[in-house]
Protein backbone atom coordinates (compact mmCIF):
# COMPACT_ATOMS: atom_id res chain seq x y z
CA UNK A 1 0.00 0.00 0.00
CA UNK A 2 1.34 3.42 -0.97
CA UNK A 3 0.02 6.12 1.31
CA UNK A 4 0.77 9.33 3.16
CA UNK A 5 -0.16 9.78 6.83
CA UNK A 6 -0.32 13.34 8.13
CA UNK A 7 0.94 13.56 11.73
CA UNK A 8 0.97 17.34 12.13
CA UNK A 9 -0.60 20.21 10.19
CA UNK A 10 0.21 23.38 12.14
CA UNK A 11 3.09 25.80 11.80
CA UNK A 12 5.18 27.01 14.76
CA UNK A 13 2.50 26.82 17.46
CA UNK A 14 0.87 23.41 17.97
CA UNK A 15 -2.62 23.29 19.45
CA UNK A 16 -4.56 20.60 21.26
CA UNK A 17 -6.02 19.49 17.91
CA UNK A 18 -3.23 20.24 15.45
CA UNK A 19 0.41 19.31 16.03
CA UNK A 20 3.35 20.77 14.10
CA UNK A 21 4.94 19.33 10.97
CA UNK A 22 5.48 15.59 10.55
CA UNK A 23 4.36 13.01 8.00
CA UNK A 24 5.01 9.36 7.18
CA UNK A 25 5.26 8.34 3.55
CA UNK A 26 4.84 4.62 2.86
CA UNK A 27 5.90 3.86 -0.69
CA UNK A 28 6.95 0.50 -2.16
CA UNK A 29 7.32 -0.95 1.35
CA UNK A 30 9.67 1.87 2.34
CA UNK A 31 8.71 3.95 5.37
CA UNK A 32 9.99 7.52 5.48
CA UNK A 33 9.39 10.11 8.19
CA UNK A 34 9.32 13.65 6.79
CA UNK A 35 9.98 16.31 9.42
CA UNK A 36 9.74 15.48 13.10
CA UNK A 37 8.14 18.15 15.26
CA UNK A 38 7.50 17.91 18.97
CA UNK A 39 4.80 15.28 19.59
CA UNK A 40 5.64 13.11 16.59
CA UNK A 41 6.00 10.01 18.78
CA UNK A 42 2.48 10.47 20.13
CA UNK A 43 1.05 10.90 16.65
CA UNK A 44 2.89 7.79 15.39
CA UNK A 45 1.19 5.77 18.12
CA UNK A 46 -2.21 7.32 17.48
CA UNK A 47 -1.84 6.50 13.77
CA UNK A 48 -0.83 2.90 14.61
CA UNK A 49 2.39 3.30 12.65
CA UNK A 50 5.33 1.05 13.46
CA UNK A 51 8.39 2.75 14.91
CA UNK A 52 10.62 -0.09 13.75
CA UNK A 53 9.64 0.21 10.08
CA UNK A 54 10.91 3.77 9.68
CA UNK A 55 14.00 3.46 7.48
CA UNK A 56 14.91 7.12 7.00
CA UNK A 57 14.09 10.58 8.31
CA UNK A 58 14.04 13.69 6.10
CA UNK A 59 14.29 17.07 7.83
CA UNK A 60 13.59 20.25 5.87
CA UNK A 61 15.27 22.87 8.07
CA UNK A 62 16.34 23.84 11.55
CA UNK A 63 13.31 25.70 12.81
CA UNK A 64 12.19 23.86 15.92
CA UNK A 65 8.68 23.06 14.68
CA UNK A 66 10.26 20.76 12.10
CA UNK A 67 12.91 18.81 14.00
CA UNK A 68 12.51 19.13 17.77
CA UNK A 69 10.90 15.70 18.11
CA UNK A 70 13.88 13.83 16.71
CA UNK A 71 15.80 13.76 20.00
CA UNK A 72 13.16 11.81 21.87
CA UNK A 73 12.40 9.63 18.86
CA UNK A 74 16.00 8.43 18.58
CA UNK A 75 15.99 7.59 22.28
CA UNK A 76 12.74 5.67 21.89
CA UNK A 77 14.14 3.72 18.94
CA UNK A 78 17.02 2.68 21.19
CA UNK A 79 14.78 1.69 24.12
CA UNK A 80 12.63 -0.38 21.75
CA UNK A 81 15.73 -2.35 20.77
CA UNK A 82 16.27 -1.05 17.26
CA UNK A 83 19.31 -2.65 15.59
CA UNK A 84 19.08 -1.70 11.93
CA UNK A 85 20.57 1.40 10.38
CA UNK A 86 18.64 4.69 10.39
CA UNK A 87 19.46 7.11 7.57
CA UNK A 88 19.05 10.83 8.24
CA UNK A 89 18.73 13.27 5.31
CA UNK A 90 19.21 16.50 7.17
CA UNK A 91 20.57 20.05 7.09
CA UNK A 92 24.36 19.81 7.57
CA UNK A 93 24.35 21.48 11.01
CA UNK A 94 21.90 18.95 12.44
CA UNK A 95 24.44 16.13 12.34
CA UNK A 96 26.67 18.06 14.75
CA UNK A 97 23.70 18.95 16.97
CA UNK A 98 22.55 15.32 17.19
CA UNK A 99 26.04 13.97 17.79
CA UNK A 100 26.56 16.45 20.65
CA UNK A 101 23.14 15.72 22.15
CA UNK A 102 23.64 11.96 22.10
CA UNK A 103 27.10 12.27 23.61
CA UNK A 104 25.86 14.35 26.54
CA UNK A 105 22.36 13.09 27.27
CA UNK A 106 21.94 9.54 26.04
CA UNK A 107 22.08 6.91 28.79
CA UNK A 108 24.14 4.01 27.44
CA UNK A 109 24.75 3.21 23.80
CA UNK A 110 22.30 4.12 21.05
CA UNK A 111 22.16 0.51 19.88
CA UNK A 112 21.93 1.20 16.15
CA UNK A 113 23.89 3.04 13.49
CA UNK A 114 22.98 6.55 12.38
CA UNK A 115 23.98 7.46 8.83
CA UNK A 116 24.07 11.18 8.18
CA UNK A 117 23.37 12.46 4.67
CA UNK A 118 23.82 16.26 4.65
CA UNK A 119 21.44 17.99 2.25
CA UNK A 120 23.15 19.50 -0.81
CA UNK A 121 23.67 23.13 -1.76
CA UNK A 122 22.45 22.60 -5.34
CA UNK A 123 18.97 23.84 -6.26
CA UNK A 124 17.84 20.34 -7.21
CA UNK A 125 19.83 17.17 -6.48
CA UNK A 126 19.24 13.45 -6.04
CA UNK A 127 19.87 12.33 -2.46
CA UNK A 128 18.46 8.77 -2.50
CA UNK A 129 18.08 6.10 -5.14
CA UNK A 130 17.16 2.43 -5.27
CA UNK A 131 15.63 0.13 -7.89
CA UNK A 132 12.12 1.55 -7.54
CA UNK A 133 12.45 5.07 -6.16
CA UNK A 134 14.47 8.26 -6.29
CA UNK A 135 14.38 11.20 -3.90
CA UNK A 136 15.51 14.71 -4.81
CA UNK A 137 16.15 17.64 -2.48
CA UNK A 138 14.87 21.04 -3.61
CA UNK A 139 16.26 24.30 -2.23
CA UNK A 140 13.41 26.55 -1.04
CA UNK A 141 13.17 30.25 -0.20
CA UNK A 142 12.86 30.63 3.56
CA UNK A 143 14.54 32.65 6.31
CA UNK A 144 17.18 29.95 6.81
CA UNK A 145 18.45 27.15 4.57
CA UNK A 146 15.43 24.98 3.78
CA UNK A 147 14.78 22.05 1.48
CA UNK A 148 11.72 20.37 0.02
CA UNK A 149 11.65 16.77 -1.19
CA UNK A 150 10.44 15.01 -4.33
CA UNK A 151 9.78 11.27 -4.12
CA UNK A 152 9.38 9.73 -7.56
CA UNK A 153 8.86 6.19 -8.79
CA UNK A 154 11.46 5.15 -11.34
CA UNK A 155 10.36 4.23 -14.81
CA UNK A 156 10.48 0.50 -15.46
CA UNK A 157 10.55 -0.62 -19.06
CA UNK A 158 8.73 -3.85 -19.86
CA UNK A 159 8.76 -5.27 -23.36
CA UNK A 160 5.40 -5.75 -25.07
CA UNK A 161 4.66 -9.47 -25.55
CA UNK A 162 3.24 -8.89 -29.00
CA UNK A 163 6.45 -7.06 -29.99
CA UNK A 164 8.53 -10.01 -28.82
CA UNK A 165 6.50 -12.31 -31.09
CA UNK A 166 6.32 -9.87 -34.01
CA UNK A 167 10.05 -9.16 -34.15
CA UNK A 168 11.24 -12.56 -32.81
CA UNK A 169 13.29 -10.78 -30.18
CA UNK A 170 16.21 -12.65 -28.67
CA UNK A 171 16.94 -12.55 -24.93
CA UNK A 172 19.83 -10.17 -25.63
CA UNK A 173 17.52 -7.84 -27.56
CA UNK A 174 14.88 -7.93 -24.82
CA UNK A 175 17.49 -6.90 -22.25
CA UNK A 176 18.63 -4.05 -24.52
CA UNK A 177 15.05 -2.78 -24.87
CA UNK A 178 14.57 -2.94 -21.08
CA UNK A 179 17.68 -0.79 -20.78
CA UNK A 180 16.00 1.86 -22.93
CA UNK A 181 17.89 1.15 -26.16
CA UNK A 182 16.47 1.32 -29.67
CA UNK A 183 16.64 -1.95 -31.61
CA UNK A 184 18.87 -2.29 -34.67
CA UNK A 185 18.33 -5.35 -36.89
CA UNK A 186 20.87 -7.03 -39.11
CA UNK A 187 19.19 -5.60 -42.25
CA UNK A 188 19.73 -2.05 -40.97
CA UNK A 189 16.16 -1.50 -39.73
CA UNK A 190 15.86 0.60 -36.56
CA UNK A 191 12.89 -0.04 -34.30
CA UNK A 192 12.44 2.74 -31.70
CA UNK A 193 12.35 1.72 -28.07
CA UNK A 194 8.93 3.33 -27.65
CA UNK A 195 7.45 0.91 -30.21
CA UNK A 196 8.60 -2.08 -28.18
CA UNK A 197 7.55 -1.05 -24.69
CA UNK A 198 4.50 -2.34 -22.88
CA UNK A 199 2.07 0.35 -21.73
CA UNK A 200 2.96 1.45 -18.22
CA UNK A 201 0.69 2.64 -15.45
CA UNK A 202 1.23 6.24 -14.30
CA UNK A 203 4.27 6.59 -12.06
CA UNK A 204 3.80 7.53 -8.41
CA UNK A 205 5.24 10.82 -7.17
CA UNK A 206 4.96 12.98 -4.09
CA UNK A 207 6.41 16.44 -3.39
CA UNK A 208 6.72 18.01 0.06
CA UNK A 209 7.16 21.79 -0.07
CA UNK A 210 7.37 23.44 3.36
CA UNK A 211 8.46 26.12 4.46
CA UNK A 212 8.94 28.70 1.73
CA UNK A 213 7.90 32.03 0.35
CA UNK A 214 6.02 31.81 -2.95
CA UNK A 215 8.71 30.34 -5.22
CA UNK A 216 7.60 29.64 -8.82
CA UNK A 217 11.24 28.93 -9.71
CA UNK A 218 10.91 25.35 -8.43
CA UNK A 219 7.68 24.45 -10.25
CA UNK A 220 9.53 22.79 -13.19
CA UNK A 221 11.34 20.45 -10.79
CA UNK A 222 8.07 18.82 -9.72
CA UNK A 223 6.14 19.22 -12.98
CA UNK A 224 3.26 16.76 -13.24
CA UNK A 225 3.60 15.46 -9.67
CA UNK A 226 0.66 13.27 -8.64
CA UNK A 227 0.41 14.48 -5.04
CA UNK A 228 1.76 17.82 -3.84
CA UNK A 229 1.89 19.01 -0.24
CA UNK A 230 2.50 22.76 -0.04
CA UNK A 231 2.51 25.03 2.95
CA UNK A 232 -0.34 27.56 3.20
CA UNK A 233 0.40 29.32 6.45
CA UNK A 234 -1.83 32.36 5.89
CA UNK A 235 -4.86 33.59 4.00
CA UNK A 236 -3.94 35.96 1.19
CA UNK A 237 -5.29 38.92 3.17
CA UNK A 238 -2.16 38.47 5.29
CA UNK A 239 0.23 38.58 2.33
CA UNK A 240 2.49 41.23 3.96
CA UNK A 241 2.95 38.93 6.98
CA UNK A 242 3.59 35.96 4.69
CA UNK A 243 6.25 37.89 2.81
CA UNK A 244 7.83 39.13 6.03
CA UNK A 245 8.15 35.59 7.40
CA UNK A 246 8.94 33.89 4.06
CA UNK A 247 5.78 31.82 4.04
CA UNK A 248 3.05 31.19 1.48
CA UNK A 249 -0.65 32.05 1.41
CA UNK A 250 -3.36 29.55 0.48
CA UNK A 251 -3.96 31.43 -2.77
CA UNK A 252 -0.27 31.22 -3.66
CA UNK A 253 -0.23 27.48 -2.90
CA UNK A 254 -3.08 27.03 -5.36
CA UNK A 255 -1.28 29.14 -7.96
CA UNK A 256 1.89 27.10 -7.49
CA UNK A 257 0.05 23.77 -7.90
CA UNK A 258 -1.45 25.07 -11.15
CA UNK A 259 1.99 26.15 -12.40
CA UNK A 260 3.45 22.74 -11.56
CA UNK A 261 0.47 20.98 -13.17
CA UNK A 262 0.10 18.81 -10.10
CA UNK A 263 -2.67 16.23 -10.01
CA UNK A 264 -3.75 16.92 -6.43
CA UNK A 265 -2.81 19.54 -3.83
CA UNK A 266 -2.72 19.13 -0.06
CA UNK A 267 -2.23 22.30 1.96
CA UNK A 268 -0.98 22.49 5.54
CA UNK A 269 1.42 24.23 7.95
CA UNK A 270 -1.42 26.47 9.11
CA UNK A 271 -1.00 29.40 11.45
CA UNK A 272 -2.51 28.74 14.88
CA UNK A 273 -4.65 31.86 14.41
CA UNK A 274 -7.03 29.78 12.25
CA UNK A 275 -9.35 27.58 14.29
CA UNK A 276 -10.85 26.25 11.05
CA UNK A 277 -9.10 25.53 7.74
CA UNK A 278 -12.22 25.82 5.59
CA UNK A 279 -11.48 29.33 4.36
CA UNK A 280 -7.86 28.42 3.56
CA UNK A 281 -9.06 25.47 1.50
CA UNK A 282 -11.67 27.57 -0.25
CA UNK A 283 -9.11 30.23 -1.16
CA UNK A 284 -6.66 27.70 -2.62
CA UNK A 285 -9.46 26.01 -4.59
CA UNK A 286 -10.19 29.25 -6.43
CA UNK A 287 -6.86 28.71 -8.20
CA UNK A 288 -6.53 24.90 -8.04
CA UNK A 289 -9.78 23.00 -7.74
CA UNK A 290 -8.39 19.65 -6.53
CA UNK A 291 -7.20 21.00 -3.18
CA UNK A 292 -7.63 19.56 0.31
CA UNK A 293 -6.72 21.21 3.60
CA UNK A 294 -5.23 18.40 5.66
CA UNK A 295 -6.01 17.40 9.22
CA UNK A 296 -3.85 15.52 11.70
CA UNK A 297 -4.01 11.73 11.34
CA UNK A 298 -5.61 11.80 7.89
CA UNK A 299 -4.36 9.24 5.38
CA UNK A 300 -4.09 9.78 1.62
CA UNK A 301 -3.55 7.07 -0.97
CA UNK A 302 -0.93 7.67 -3.64
Could you report the per-residue pLDDT of 12-70, keeping only the tens digit for each? Answer: 999 989 999 999 999 999 999 999 999 999 999 999 999 999 999 999 999 999 999 99
Distance of CA 293 to the CA centre of its chain: 17
Mean of pLDDT values over 262-285: 97
Same domain, 171 and 286: no
Same domain, 286 and 165: no
* Annotated catalytic residue 295: no
Closest CA to 75 of 43, 97, 108: 108
Mean of pLDDT values over 145-149: 98
Mean of pLDDT values over 125-133: 96
Could you report the per-residue pLDDT of 82-115, keeping only the tens digit for each? Answer: 999 999 999 999 999 999 998 887 766 788 999 9
Same domain, 85 and 18: yes
Give the number of residues written for the chain.
Answer: 302
pLDDT at 107: 65
Same domain, 93 and 32: yes
Same domain, 208 and 267: yes
pLDDT at 161: 77
pLDDT at 97: 95
Return d(Cα 122, Cα 136) in angstroms, integer: 11
Return d(Cα 278, Cα 57) in angstroms, integer: 31
182: domain range? 161-195
Mean of pLDDT values over 233-256: 98
Q: Indicate whether this model's pTM tops 0.75.
A: yes
Same domain, 152 and 168: no
Same domain, 232 and 93: yes
Mean of pLDDT values over 241-268: 98
Does residue 171 contact residue 192 with C-beta atoms inside 8 Å?
Answer: no
Cα atoms in the Cβ-side hemisphere of radius 13 Å centred on 108: 9
Out of 65, 130, 211, 295, pick the active-site residue: 65
Please count the structural domains in the chain: 2
Same domain, 235 and 263: yes
Pairing of strands 227-231, 264-268: parallel
Mean pLDDT of the chain, nearest integer: 93
Return d(Cα 241, Cα 250) in angstroms, integer: 13
Same domain, 180 and 39: no
Return d(Cα 148, Cα 91) in angstroms, integer: 11
Q: How confident is the model at residue 198 (pLDDT cuts 50, 70, 90)?
A: low
Same domain, 33 and 168: no
Look up the CATH number of the domain holding residue 285.
3.60.15.10
Same domain, 183 and 248: no
Q: How confident is the model at residue 201 (pLDDT cuts 50, 70, 90)?
A: confident
Return d(Cα 252, Cα 191) in angstroms, integer: 46
Same domain, 190 and 107: no
Amino acid sequence: MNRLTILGTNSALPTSKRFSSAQVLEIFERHFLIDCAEGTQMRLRQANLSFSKIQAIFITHLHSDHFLGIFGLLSTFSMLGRKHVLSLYIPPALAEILTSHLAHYLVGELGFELRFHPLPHEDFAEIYSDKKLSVHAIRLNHRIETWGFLFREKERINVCKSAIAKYHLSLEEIIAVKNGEDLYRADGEMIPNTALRAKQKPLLSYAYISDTAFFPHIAPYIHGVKLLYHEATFLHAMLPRAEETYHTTARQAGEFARMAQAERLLIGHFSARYSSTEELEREAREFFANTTAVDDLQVYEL
